[in-house]
Every structure is written in C-alpha cells, then in structure tokens.
Structure 1
Amino acid sequence: MTGSLRFVRILVLTSVYPPLGYSGHDERCRQTVGALVRQGHQMQVLTSNYRLPPMGVPGEKGVFREFRLYPNAFEDSKLGTSYAATYAHERVNAEALGYRMSRFEPDVVYVWNMRELSKSLLFRLQKKGVRIVYDLHMDWLLPESFNRDPWYRWWRANPSSRSKLYRGFMHCIGKARRALGMMPIGEAHELNLEGSYVASCWLRDQLTDAGMTQVESLPVIYPGTDVRILKPKERYVRRRRFMWAGRLTEAKGADIAVAAVGLLKQRGVYVSLDLFALGEPSERKAKRKRIETAGLIDQVTMRGIRPGELFEHYEFYDALLYTSRYGEAFSMTVLEAMLSKLPCLVANVGGNSEILEHAHDALMFEAGSAQALADRMLEFVNRQDMGAELAENSIERLQAERSIDTFCEKITPLLSEHS
C-alpha cells in the first residue's frame, strides 16, 4: 500500500460465510478477507449461524457466527406478523452487531450480502455515522427483496387490524420511538452508498431502474478469484462430458441443461452431464425423478459438492454449462472455470456478457432455450480443438485482470479512504 493509504480495521457483514456458505460469491468473500489480511489489514467477519454445527467450525479465527437469518418462506413463521417474535429476532442481531462494534472498533464496515439478514443493522450503523462500503453483487437491494425484511414488514406492510392498533398504542406511549431508535427502518434508496462499488454494469442498471439513483455514479469493479488454487486444464480430449453447477432453483436452469441432453439424444448425439447441485434433499430427489422420467438416467448424474471445492473437478470435463434463466451481476462459477481453462457455454444474460465475446472466449446461447443450448453443445463437440482456442483466448487477460489480489488492489482505496 502506498501514499495516503494505511492499514485499517475492517468488519465484514454477510449472511453466510464458508465453509457454511452456498454460493460462489460467499467463497469470494472468504478469499477477499484472506487477501486483505495479507495486505496487513485487521479483519473480522460477523455472519449468521446458518448450518453451524454444535461444536462450531474447527480452527476458525476472527469469524463470529452470531446473526440469525429470517426464513425464506413466511407461511410457517411469525416474523413480520407477530411483534414479539419479530422484535426478539431483530434484537438478537442488533445486540450481536453492537457488541462486535464495541469490541473491535472497526474503521469501516464492509457489507457483503444482506439477503435474509436484518436491514435495520444497516440503518443503525448509518445513523451512528459509521463508514460503510458495500460490495454490490446481488439483488438484495431491490425492493422485492429488501422489503421482505420482517421488521420492515411489521412496521410498514402489516395490514392486520390488531397490528395497526398495537402500532398506534406503541406510538402513544413512546415504545415505538425506543424500538425504532435501536433498530431503525427505511427504504433501500435511503441507504448511503457513497464510496461503494458494483460488480457489473448490468446490476448497476438494474438498481438504477429500481430507483437507486446514487448507484449510477458508483464504479464497476468486476469480481476476482484466487488463481493460485486453480488447476488449469491441460488436455483437451473429446469425452463429450459436460458439467453444470449451481442451486436447484428454476432461476439457475438445471432443467435446461438436462433438456438439452435429451434433445441431442433425439438427434442421435450422446453426451453425458454431471450436475454439481446444491439443494435440499427433497429438491435433489425431485430432480432425480425428472431425470429418470426423461429417460436420461444413464447420461445425467447428480453430484454433491461443497462450496469452494468445484475447481478440483474442472479438468475432467469438456465444458461448463451456465444456464441461468435470469440475469445476475456476475457468475463466479463461469469466472473460475475460465481461469481454469475450461471452455464455457454461457447464457447471454447478466454481467457475464460484459466481459465475454461469443466464439472468441466462450460460446453464448439464448437464455432459457434448451434448443439453443443443444445447438451450441453440438457445435462444441464438433470442434476439432475441443475448445482449446476458447480457453487460450481468455486466460492471459483473465489472470491479469480477475485475480483476487488485483480485485483487492482496486477496492483497498475505498476501504482505506479517510480512515
């Protein structure tokens, strides 16, 4: 670090954190923390107790798993409808943050992912004048996600007569002022995002269109990953073996990849597909059933995978299929695969399109179309070089521009500014 930059104390806030996280960006968070520590910064992570075993995570230092997430579905939860339950949930998180702030006394709070976490934490920090830097790589700031927060819903979107009466009573006796003083609420556009950054132009446009006008002036800093742990593919042998990785949700489009294998089978072209799938047991069982029903049990295999371990498998496949139906800021799986010199067939949505060029460093196809993917897969298996040229065209540029250390060099001035 040079010039006016200095080492600072940084507290990271995030919903989940490896090895208990469930996305490529959670692993990127872990790698970013490690890179900032190597630069000389003091780091602590405050995250949730998501899937925390009774004995904790062996050997873990500086990571405090104390937050409580609110559930994905509210049908079986009192959060957002019961004041007592919602208040108790919020207070646990508020006290965890307050204690960590007083003990660590960070120079800056680095907000990573607040999905399913209390948004009052952010307004509380902002109210106290704490400097906050946001890594904006997900859609949790969009109103449809942000306003699902139970504390927000109880105060501003709970139409029950009983809740309305109780809110009125609380205002009369001053209880509302005390509760909201400790755990304030607000709209997403009221957050101060100055000094933060966005992971792609696509996400910046999405947030701006949703009314987050201050995002429009934020810099775009594309994500990076730790290239030192990757195992570059060396041999491009025709195996007709593809891989897919992600959560078993409609948005991620595993069914598109499976359907494309079926379409190729109808054309007399046989390929294999391994699904490295994250999901609940019921989701995995349902997916296996659909594969059996499609008559593809001999071609499509379900594989288990833990976050941060996918890179160990890239060299054994011909290509990665990225089949998301809807845009996302940036796919870490695609970036990691390309940095491992694994050719990629990529849906033409989201931030990936900003750094990829069709037929130069990846093969692009129409998002949501199994037919378009099948066409690209057939094009790929007919290539004489089995994608070696695609891999070579991107590797030098990506290694220089998308390493985790290069990424941290770009964000360090934001984290250190005015500290």
Structure 2
Amino acid sequence: MADIAQLSTTDTGFQQRLEQLLAWESVSDGGVNQTVNDIIVDIRSRGDDALLEYTSRFDGWDARGAADLEIPAARLAQAWSCIPEDQRQALAHAAERVRIYHEKQKTESWSYTEEDGTLLGQQVTAIERVGLYVPGGKAAYPSSVLMNALPAKVAGVQELIMVVPTPGGELNELVLAAAHLCGVDRVFAVGGAQAVAALAYGTESIPPVDKVVGPGNIYVATAKRAVFGQVGIDMVAGPSEILVICDGKTNPDWVAMDLFSQAEHDEDAQSILLCPDKVFVAQVKANIDRLLPTMEREPIIATALKDRGALIHCRDLDEACEVSNFIAPEHLELSVDNPQALAPKIRHAGAIFMGRYTSEPLGDYCAGPNHVLPTSRTARFSSPLGVYDFQKRSSLIMVSETGSDTLGKTASVLARGEGLTAHARSAEYRFKDK
C-alpha cells in the first residue's frame, strides 16, 4: 500500500503542513559547494588537462586526448540515420511542433520618431554563443535537446555548444540524433560541474559561451549558480512537480498515473492532487495502491509519494485555485469540465494543461510549448524557457538637435539635483543657447 499524505484544507494547521510539504532547499550544502568551487578553479587554471582527469574520475573512461572529447558532426548524422524509423519520425514530429510554437515567440526590433525628430526604440539581437547541458547519467533526455536547442536556433543564436556526460564512454544514439536534427554546432562528451565550468570560462578545446542552459544534478545546478555573472543561466531548477486539480469526474486511473508521471523522475519529485470530492480522492488513493506495483520505477515513485506527495481535499474548485496559486507548481493539470473558465484564476504556474485529455507528458515531449519550467514555487516570478531567453534587447536613442535642447534642460535640472555636475554640463554643452 502506497504511503502518501492525505490532507484537507479544513484541517487545523493545514497551511503549516502544506509549507512543510513544499519546502525544498535548492541551495547546496557546504560540501557540494566546496567540491564545485574546487572544480571550477581547476578548470580555469588547467583547462583540458583538468577536464580529461574529471572525465576519467567521474564518467569512468579515459580519452586519449582532448580531441576525443568532441563528438564529430558525422557521428551525429550517423546516429540520426541509424536509429529506428519510429524514433526518427517521433523526433521529427516533436521538433516541428516545438519549432512552430517558438517561432511565435520571436521579438522584433522596433522604434518610433517623435515630432522633433528624436528616435527611440529597441534593437533585438540574439546571444552569440550558448552552451547546452544535457543530462546523461541515470537517464538520457533527447527531449531536453529539442526544448533547449530549438528556441536558441529560432532566436538566431550563432553557435550552440552541447555537453553531455557519457558514463563508461557510452553514447546515447537518441541524444546524438536529436542534436543532429536541431542543428547543434558542436557536441562534447563531458558532464558535471566541470562541463559547466568549461562552458563558462573556456578551455583549449571548448570555447567560452555567453549563456548556459539545461538541467542537471545538484553539482550541475550548483556550478550554474556559481558561474552566473560570468555567463547567463536559464534557471537553477529543483525537482519535478505536478499538481492536478480535478472535479472528481476524470477516470481515477488517469489521475493516479499522472501523479506517477512526475514521481518517477526521482525521489525528490512532487505529486499533489487537489479535489473537492472526498469519494474521488479515496478512489485515486485506491488506484495508486493498485497501480504502483505494476510500475518499473516503483521504488522511486513510492519514495517520492511518501516524502513529498499529497492528496488534498478542498472545499471547492475556487479554493483549489487559491491553494494552487500558493504552490505555484511547475506543471498544473486542470482536469475539469470547463478548464478555460478556471484558467484565468491561475496566477502562478509553469505550464497549465487544460482538460481531461491533456496529460502532462504531452508537454514534456511534443505539444510544442517548452518543458523547461520554473520549479520550487519560482513560477511566482519566472517563466518557461523560450526564444526570449536567447535574445537581448538594446535601447535605441537618437536625439535631434531640438530634442537635445528640450531633454537636456530636464536632464540638467535632475543631474544638478543629484550633485552630478559633469552629467549636467554634458547635457548643457549641447544647448542651442548656452
């Protein structure tokens, strides 16, 4: 029988219990921080030599030299041609949908001219070189390649450098095929904090990038946090999460499996159900008990449900939305009759899956929107990865002679009010009547 918390919003101390359930310390402990900092220092000082040593130590294979760390483009093409036809078709179908969706996110430059001839605007340019980290330890994720590489390419990134750990020197054909399909420019068989450091600072073989994106374990996440400022990063992601709001009319097997779909990621993943129907909540619990022994990753799911999962009975769907807004989940399923009426009540969520037939895994792989989403309640202030994460905006200001006089007087008054005389005089020098 599965062990999972069963709560009600009417319970005494419910809010405190919910906060305890959601608590996740994304900051690494001192030992992890020290290890990562040592690796970064070593990569910065010894470059490829350090990278080769860490690859041998952590991935368990010895490259003959730094050149062996790069996977040639021909090898990526070979992987694409050799994977089974159904996998090739699935990757192509998913990639096309992801590309089409992200094309709609492109932001164009704009400007306007005022009556006196002053031009103001915004120039949008792509980041020049981006590093993509793709996990390759416990599992391989070709979907991560699609979701990170395609928005970058749509944005116009000139060079995309991918790193992927290869434990035991084993290459994952699907990951390589996805890299070929997405037009990744260079791929290196390195992982961990050492790969992040190499991307941020560069080595003799790996060029330094301007931004690092992609998921990874606690060492990768800690390294991304440590190099932020030297390079940009997408986010520091925590464990995967799903919250299902259900009105009690969905097949309870579906809901149980939806909760499993995130719990199987790892033991720290979080799966929560919010429902106003007590009978349905009990049905979902019974179905969890029945289905759990049939799952290949049963131990992982069971641990995740026990440690961080919950079945929550609430008063009504409005209250469910309020609780959901506090949780700010990564994935939110609205498994109700009229999800479009409920969606406007949701203020904080990474992605909203609307309707009984919209399972979360569709978003993971092929619906089109990005599956790189804010976790650990950060959906309160952040958004899914998108084309906008690979574009920069520069302000455009071209002041006419008349505008220089008008704006200069305003700037002069404000600058002198701040005690910045050089600022004021810089503007005043351009006055028509000095």
- Verify same fold: TM over 0.5: no
Larger radius of gyration, structure 1 or 2? 2
Structure ranking higher in helix proportion: 2
User: Larger relative CO (CA 8 A, sep 6+): 1 or 2?
Assistant: 2
After TM superposition, the score normalised by the length of structure 2 is 0.33
After TM superposition, the score normalised by the length of structure 1 is 0.34
